[in-house]
Structures are given as structure tokens and as C-alpha cells.
């Protein structure tokens, strides 16, 4: 038998653990892995000294229409599949990685969500409980319940309570970004999470809590595991107040905000305890001119899709988490939570998506490495240990050593829970 691609001699991280293995690919699908010394291929990639991880799935990318979809930056960061928020798929858009989207719930489409969630490429429904970004907020419990009762697929939640935010506007100090933490205090997030979990259980609808920022929310998710899953972002794991605001000023403004060290440590404990299902970049690129407006008018959001894996590989080297855990929350976890077909594992029959890394490589993420469309990154200048050296999507190497090797090849993701029946011929 002859195959299209063999990756030889790498340390394969799979359901079997970590073992040195060859991986064979034909027609974009994994057809074998193990000792494949007698097998020939059109192309061979030498994986010696490298770790072959399942392709990274990033489930929180906010598309900025003015800046582009940033899928190029995604593949440079080892991401092979991305779920975009506030992004309707279009044949006019070109993606470097495979892609899907979340349908935002609004007051005008509330009664159509059960149909909209079944559209091709849709991963589920997005619902915001605050007016963050350009999203319409759902304030009261009755409207939230109506959304959750309309459909069956998982609803992803931005959990900040808009009513509390309105009540706390007196905490805003013009020109002082540190007051963002007082305005969007813990209670704003905790109350929203408490409400939506109770409503979700009453509606019998699975929900996914995005970018959780407090340890108390993680404890609530643990008590509602029958109905909820949770994600954490690298920024909330790695940065804490007030130092982040002193160092990055307005550029550190995100929603929910970067919080104090106690919460940061609490998120790591939740990750260690298995409460966290997904590590998601929460990539939200913003133009410099809008970040430098006087607080509170400066926009929220940071770019992070390109640095998520390098930052977390660095944490693996520091002993903060295992490589097996990282693989779980960037591959198998996202695929399980959102029912993504044929992704998230190195196993026969799955798509040949791989993130290849040099775990012990020491390097500096320079300003000129930044590929995200906004042109800046909080972590530019960081010295890291652990580097993504190659990104392979359906058997095609699209990035190697920081260079993009192909034109956009992204295809629409498929999901187990919205397959359409075959049409009669």
C-alpha cells in the first residue's frame, strides 16, 4: 500500500499516551499509526525529536470585519480548526484552517434558533448576557428561558449580568482602566453564571460557559456538570490584576476582566481538577486606535490565537500542566463539547490534523512574528520554551517554521448533531 503522507519518528500523543510512532495519511484521513517502516509515501515528514499532537481546535474567535478573520494567524499558532463568533459563513471568505460558527441569538431571530442552529457549519447558538462588543444582551430570565427552549444544541454563554453592570456604572473612573475591574466585579460574572445554570437545568438545555474568570464560577459549573461545560482563556490563566493594568494599560481591557491573583490561581486549580473542558483563546483583535481611546471608551479585546499554544507549551515545561491535559482541552475536549465530527484525536479514520511542536525549543516571540491583523500582541517580546513548528490540516502541511506554505484550504466543519439526511435523487 502507498499513502500520501507519512510522519516518521515523532512522539505521538494519542489515546494510547505518548509513544514513538509513524502516522500514515491517505486522502486527508489517518489510515494507520505505529511502526510503519515498510510503508512508502508520496511525502515524508521527519518527526524526530518532535511531538505530534492532535490538531488544535480553538472555539472562541471573534471576527473583526474590519481586520479580517485571522485564520492565517491561527495556523501559525498550530490551530487547525476554529469556531468563529458573529461570523456567518460565506463563499467569499477564505480560511486557512477548517472553520465553523456560532449563531448569535437576538430579539429578531429568537423564534428561529431551532432552524438556524441546523445550518451547515453552525456549531450552536451564542448568547450574551451583557452588551459586550456589538452583541445584543438578554437581560431577564424569561427571555433567557425562551432562547434555551428554542432548539436542542449547546448554547455558548458570555456570562456577565447587564443589570448589575448598569447599576455599577458609578464605579467607572474616566481615564483609569483599573476601574474596569471595579465596574465588572466578581459579582457581575457570578450572578450571571448562577442564573444561566439554573435556567439551563430547568430548560433541559446544555450550555457552555465561555472564558470563565472567577474560581466561584468554576465551583458552580462543577455542581452543574450534567448540563454545563466550561472554557478558560490563556489570558485569565497567565495575567492578573493590578499588575496587568500597570504594565499593559488599556491594552489589558477585556470582558470579563483580568482579575486578581486569587482568582487566577483558582482557575488553575479548576483546570487541574478537570472542571475545565476547553482551553480557548478568546481571540478578539482590536485596532490600536480604538485600544488607545480614553477609558471607558477604549474597546475590549486582545489578540491571542497565535500565542495560545506557545504560551501553554511554556507552562507544560514549567510543570503547570501535563502535555496530555493540554491535548485534552485543545483537541478531544472541544470536539466532544461541540460534537465536531472526525476531529480532536490521532486515531484511524479521523482527519489528519496535526500540531507538531518542539517541546524544548527556546525562542522569543518577536514583534515581527505577529501575524494577527491588528498588528499587536500583549505577549510580543516573551521568551518561551516550546514552539509550534508545523501545522497540518487534512494531510496538507500549511505552516512550517513560521512560514505559510499554501493558499487558504479551510473547509466547513461538520457536526454529529446537525447532519442533514441525503436528498432523494
Closest CA to 303 of 232, 231, 251: 251
pLDDT at residue 79, as a whole number: 98
pLDDT score at 351:
98
Q: Determine what percent of the chain is predicted with pLDDT higher than 90.
A: 91
The reply to whether 23 and 68 lie within a common domain is no
User: Is residue 129 within 8 Å of residue 158, measured between CB atoms?
Assistant: yes
Query: Where do runs of H (alpha helix) occur along 204-332?
Result: 215-223, 234-238, 243-248, 261-272, 288-291, 308-318, 323-327
Q: What pLDDT score does 132 carry?
A: 83
**The domain containing residue 395 runs over which residues?**
2-53+348-404
CB of 119 closer than 8 Å to CB of 153:
no
- 17 and 78 belong to one structural domain: no
The answer to whether residue 415 sits within a structural domain is no
Return phi, psi of residue 280, to 5°: -125, 140
Residues 214, 145 within the same domain: yes
Q: Is 77 a member of any domain?
A: yes
* Residue 154 three-state SS: coil
Structure confidence by residue, pLDDT tens digits, 202-235: 999 999 999 999 999 999 999 999 999 999 999 9
Assign residue 249 a region: left if phi > 0, alpha if psi is -120 to 50, beta otherwise?
left
Q: Is there a single domain that holds both residue 49 and residue 61?
A: no
Residue 417 included in any domain: no
8, 353, 375, 403 from 34: Cα distances, Å: 9, 17, 42, 29
- Per-residue confidence (pLDDT) for residue 92, from 0 to 100: 55
Q: Say how far apart CA 137 and CA 374 lie, in whole Å.
A: 26
Count of positions (residues) in the chain: 425
Phi and psi torsions of 235, nearest 5°: -60, -45
CATH of the domain at 365: 2.30.40.10
Same domain, yes or no: 302 and 196: yes
Same-domain check for residues 207 and 228: yes
pLDDT at 418: 87
**The three three-digit cell numbers of residue 122, written as one number:** 453552525
The verdict on residue 153 lying in a domain is yes
Determine which helix (DSSP H) or strand (DSSP E) holds 196, and give its type and residue range. Answer: helix 186-203
> In whole angstroms, what is the distance from residue 144 CA to residue 129 CA?
9
Count structural domains, the chain: 2
**How far is it, in rounded angstroms, from Cα 217 to Cα 262?**
13
Q: Answer yes or no: is 172 within a domain.
A: yes
Cα 57 from Cα 78, distance rounded (Å): 9
Predicted TM-score (pTM) of the model is: 0.96
Decide: residue 335, CB within 10 A, 0-12 exposed, 13-18 middle, 19+ buried.
buried
CA 94 to chain centre: 19
CATH code, domain with 317? 3.20.20.140
- Report which of 43, 50, 145 is spatially closest to residue 396, judged by C-alpha positions: 43
Positive or negative torsion for Cα 328, 100, 98, 389:
negative
Residue 7 is predicted with a pLDDT of 97
- Residue 25 domain-assigned? yes
Residue 89 lies in a domain: yes
> Which set of grid coordinates corresponds to residue 125?
447558538
- Which ranges of 292-389 does DSSP label H, i.e. alpha helix? 308-318, 323-327, 333-337
Q: Which residues of the chain have pLDDT under 50?
A: none
Q: Going by C-beta distance under 8 Å and a sequence separation of 6 or more, which residues neighbour residue 140?
A: none
Main-chain phi, psi angles of 246, to 5 degrees: -65, -35
CA-to-CA distance for 355 and 359, rounded, in angstroms?
12
Q: Tell me, yes or no, whether 386 lies in a domain.
A: yes
Q: In the chain, how long is the greatest CA-to-CA distance?
A: 71
Boundary-marking domain end, from 286, 303, 337: 337
Q: Does residue 277 sit in the same domain as residue 298?
A: yes
The answer on 269 and 370 residing in a single domain is: no
Stretch (H or E) spanning 232: strand 228-232
Residue from 280, 288, 284 nearest 300 by CA: 284
Report d(CA 336, CA 277) in Å as an integer: 9
Amino acid at each position: 500500500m502507498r499513502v500520501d503522507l507519512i510522519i516518521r519518528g515523532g512522539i505521538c500523543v494519542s489515546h494510547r499516551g505518548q509513544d514513538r510512532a509513524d502516522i500514515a495519511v491517505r486522502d486527508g484521513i489517518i489510515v494507520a499509526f505505529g511502526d510503519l517502516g515498510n510503508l512508502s509515501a508520496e511525502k515524508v515528514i521527519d518527526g524526530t525529536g518532535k511531538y505530534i499532537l492532535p490538531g488544535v481546535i480553538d472555539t472562541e474567535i471573534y471576527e473583526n470585519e474590519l481586520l479580517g478573520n485571522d485564520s492565517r494567524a491561527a495556523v501559525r499558532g498550530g490551530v487547525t480548526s476554529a469556531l468563529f463568533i458573529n461570523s456567518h459563513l460565506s463563499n467569499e471568505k477564505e480560511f486557512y484552517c477548517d472553520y465553523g460558527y456560532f449563531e448569535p441569538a437576538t430579539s429578531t431571530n429568537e423564534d428561529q434558533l431551532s432552524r438556524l442552529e441546523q445550518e451547515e457549519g453552525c456549531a450552536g447558538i451564542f448568547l450574551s448576557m451583557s452588551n459586550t462588543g456589538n452583541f445584543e444582551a438578554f437581560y431577564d430570565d424569561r427571555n433567557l428561558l425562551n432562547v434555551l427552549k428554542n432548539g436542542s444544541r449547546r448554547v455558548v454563554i458570555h456570562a456577565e449580568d447587564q443589570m448589575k453592570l448598569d447599576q455599577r456604572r458609578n464605579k467607572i473612573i474616566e481615564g483609569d482602566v483599573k476601574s474596569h475591574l471595579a465596574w465588572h466585579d466578581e459579582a457581575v460574572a457570578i450572578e450571571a453564571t448562577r442564573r444561566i445554570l439554573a435556567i439551563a437545568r430547568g430548560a433541559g438545555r446544555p450550555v457552555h460557559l465561555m472564558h470563565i474568570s472567577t474560581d466561584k464560577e468554576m465551583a458552580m459549573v462543577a455542581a452543574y456538570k450534567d448540563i454545563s461545560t466550561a472554557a478558560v482563556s490563556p489570558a485569565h490563566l497567565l495575567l492578573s490584576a493590578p499588575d496587568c493594568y500597570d504594565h499593559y494599560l488599556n491594552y489589558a481591557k477585556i470582558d470579563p476582566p483580568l482579575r486578581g491573583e486569587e482568582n487566577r490561581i483558582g482557575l488553575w486549580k479548576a483546570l487541574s481538577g478537570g472542571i475545565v473542558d476547553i482551553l480557548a483563546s478568546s481571540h478578539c483583535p482590536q485596532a490600536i486606535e480604538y485600544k488607545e481611546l480614553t477609558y471607558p471608551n477604549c474597546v475590549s479585546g486582545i489578540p491571542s490565537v497565535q500565542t495560545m499554544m506557545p504560551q501553554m507549551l511554556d507552562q507544560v515545561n514549567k510543570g503547570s500542566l501535563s502535555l496530555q491535559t493540554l491535548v485534552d482541552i485543545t483537541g478531544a475536549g472541544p470536539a466532544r463539547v461541540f460534537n465536531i465530527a472526525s476531529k480532536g484525536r490521532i486515531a484511524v479514520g479521523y482527519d489528519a490534523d496535526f500540531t507538531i511542536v518542539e517541546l524544548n525549543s527556546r525562542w522569543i516571540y518577536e514583534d515581527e512574528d505577529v501575524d494577527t491583523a491588528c498588528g499587536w500582541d500583549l505577549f510580543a517580546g516573551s521568551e518561551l520554551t516550546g514552539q509550534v513548528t508545523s501545522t497540518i490540516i487534512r494531510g496538507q502541511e500549511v505552516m512550517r517554521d513560521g512560514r505559510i506554505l499554501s493558499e487558504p484550504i479551510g473547509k466547513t466543519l461538520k457536526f454529529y448533531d446537525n447532519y442533514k439526511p441525503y436528498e432523494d435523487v
